[in-house]
């Protein structure tokens, strides 16, 4: 049986902007995790879809919500996806640039994403602005 939330996560996986807009317009929750513990925002960030990230944030998703079960934040997921546009949306909407006292850029480098120069620079610049 498919629930409305499954429908939202499915729409995010497909990149279906129209279905996500309809779900939001119907008043559905944009914060409830799926059966794997991922929020809609985390799923959109993981896919690097800046448009869906923005839609979810505008609908009330928290850029700094509890990390995924694996401990990754939406900002880290967008960076790992290589999506500078999604990273910029998250930073503009107040995503923290540290996690557990370690900068997001350092965490990404430690995971082998040091080649994402423009993304890491954007995160480090925002960290300098916000601390």
pLDDT at 131: 44
List the beta bridge partners of residue 102: 99
The reply to whether 102 falls in a domain is no
Give the Cα separation of 36 and 97 in Å (integer): 25
**Segments forming the whole domain that contains residue 62:** 4-96
The reply to whether 9 falls in a domain is yes
Crossing angle between the packed helical segments 117-130 and 84-92, to the nearest 10 degrees: 10
The reply to whether 48 falls in a domain is yes
4, pLDDT greater than 80: no
pLDDT in tens, 56-102: 999 999 999 877 888 899 999 999 999 999 999 999 999 999 888 88
The reply to whether 87 falls in a domain is yes
pLDDT in tens, 31-52: 988 888 999 999 999 999 999 9
């Amino acid at each position: 049986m498919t629930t409305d939330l499954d429908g939202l996560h499915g729409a995010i996986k497909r990149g279906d902007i129209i279905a996500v807009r309809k779900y939001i317009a119907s008043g559905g929750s944009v914060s409830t995790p799926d059966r794997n513990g991922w929020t809609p925002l985390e799923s959109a960030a993981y896919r690097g879809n800046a448009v869906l990230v923005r839609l979810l944030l505008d609908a009330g998703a928290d850029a700094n919500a509890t990390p995924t079960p694996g401990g990754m934040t939406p900002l880290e997921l967008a960076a790992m996806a290589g999506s500078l546009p999604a990273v910029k949306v998250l930073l503009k909407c107040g995503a923290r640039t540290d996690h557990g006292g370690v900068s997001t850029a350092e965490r990404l480098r430690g995971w082998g994403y040091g080649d994402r120069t423009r993304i890491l620079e954007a995160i480090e610049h925002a960290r300098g602005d916000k601390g």
